[in-house]
Amino acid sequence: MSDVVIVTGASRGIGAGIAERLAAEGMAVACVARTLDEGSSHLAGSLASTVARIELAGGRAAPFVADLADEAFDARQIVDAVEARLGSVTHLVNNAAACFYLPFADIPTKRIDLSYRVNVRSPWLLAQAVLPAMIERRSGSILNISSASSERPTGPPFPDRGIGGAAVYGGSKAWLERATVGAAVELSGTGVSANTLSPEYAVITEGADAMMSDLAERDDIICEPLATMAEAALALLTGDADVLTGQVAYSLSLLRALGRPVLDLDGVTLVDGWQPPDFPTALLREP
């Protein structure tokens, strides 16, 4: 039986990329998101499209529609549905996120609640739903996708006003990181790992492009390929649970520290110009 992984937010962007890379590695992928078909969202991408790409490449995947922002979201129901169709869940990737940038003083309560439900509550509930079987099997991994917005802005003074507008989003990701490390401490010795992973720099996705148009053409923003995030995710999910756990990791720094080649989403082709020796050392965080 192949490993089974749940990937939330798998209709597009980083979630879809991670789903494709894991499928190329032989995992059966449960793709979870709100958007089942193309055209039902203002952004391109859908569960149907992600699953179709995986199956076309010879992988195994299935779509599962869920709204993680719903107060009535039932993580146990999702996990049961996945296990009935694909088998016992061995890995969990909490990638879905509610991302918006609004001034601290003006953020409506409903946006605060939405950020908490999607970015903190649903990952926590899904982890609680899959952990008993992982602990009993003494094998498994949980990976929560975070963001550099979780980092404390340097200052004072704050000449660029920090990362203005990221108080709720960055705050929710900081909460997620701390909770993940806490879980790793409690899971120590069980064979189950818990980590967070953030892009080192911007990744061009449908959502990022909608928030910041012409991202690929801007010379004031450093971008990394989707493949580096997908490869780093695979490394954390399949690494030694006694060593690669409790990490608040960044994609390029992690890959450089591990000396891990970066393969494209097909799991075969090396990504030209984005291998660890190519990474500019000055741009990396401490491993």
Q: What are phi and psi of 75, to 5 degrees?
A: -65, -40
Average pLDDT over residues 44-61: 96
Instruction: Reply yes or no on whether the pLDDT at 93 is more than 60.
Output: yes
156-201 pLDDT, tens digit per residue, is 887 665 556 788 999 999 999 999 999 999 999 999 999 999 999 8
What pLDDT does 62 receive?
Answer: 98
Q: What is the mean pLDDT of residues 87-109?
A: 92
**Which of 88, 81, 6 minimizes the C-alpha distance to 47?**
6
Question: Computed over its alpha carbons, how large is the radius of gyration of the chain?
Answer: 18
pLDDT for 212 = 47
Instruction: Give me the catalytic one of 122, 141, 173, 198.
Output: 173
Comparing CA positions, the residue from 258, 269, 267, 274 lying closest to residue 225 is 274
**Mean pLDDT on 27-56:** 92
Q: What distances in angstroms separate CA 88 from CA 4, 19, 130, 189, one per listed residue?
A: 6, 17, 9, 21
pLDDT at residue 1 in the model:
67
- Determine the pLDDT at residue 286: 60
CATH class, 4-283 region: alpha beta
For position 219, what pLDDT does the model report? Answer: 52
Average pLDDT, the chain: 91
CA dihedral 218, 222, 227, 232 (to 10 degrees): -160
User: Tens digits of per-residue pLDDT, 233-258?
Assistant: 999 999 999 999 999 999 999 999 99
| Axis-axis angle for helices 109-116, 167-187 (nearest 10) | 30
Residue 185's pLDDT is: 98
- Please report, for the chain, the start and end positions of each structural domain, with discontinuous segments joined by +: 4-283
Residue 287 near residue 238, CB atoms below 8 Å: no
pLDDT tens-digit profile of 262-275? 999 999 999 999 99
Q: Given 46, 122, 141, 146, which residue is catalytic? A: 146
pTM score, two decimals? 0.92
Q: 287 pLDDT exceeds 60?
A: no
Place of tokens 């879905």: 96
State the DSSP H helix or E strand holding residue 196, giving kind and residue range, or none if neither. Answer: strand 192-198
Does residue 110 have an active-site annotation? no
How confident is the model at residue 208, as a pLDDT?
44
Dist. CA 158–CA 153, nearest whole Å: 8
Say how far apart CA 183 and CA 105 lie, in whole Å.
Answer: 32
Q: Choose among 195, 196, 93, 192: nearest CA to 140.
A: 192
Catalytic residue among 169, 172, 193, 198: 169
Q: pLDDT over 90 for what percent of the chain? A: 76
Name the band, by pLDDT with cuts 50, 70 and 90, for residue 209. Answer: very low
Residue 173 annotated to the active site: yes
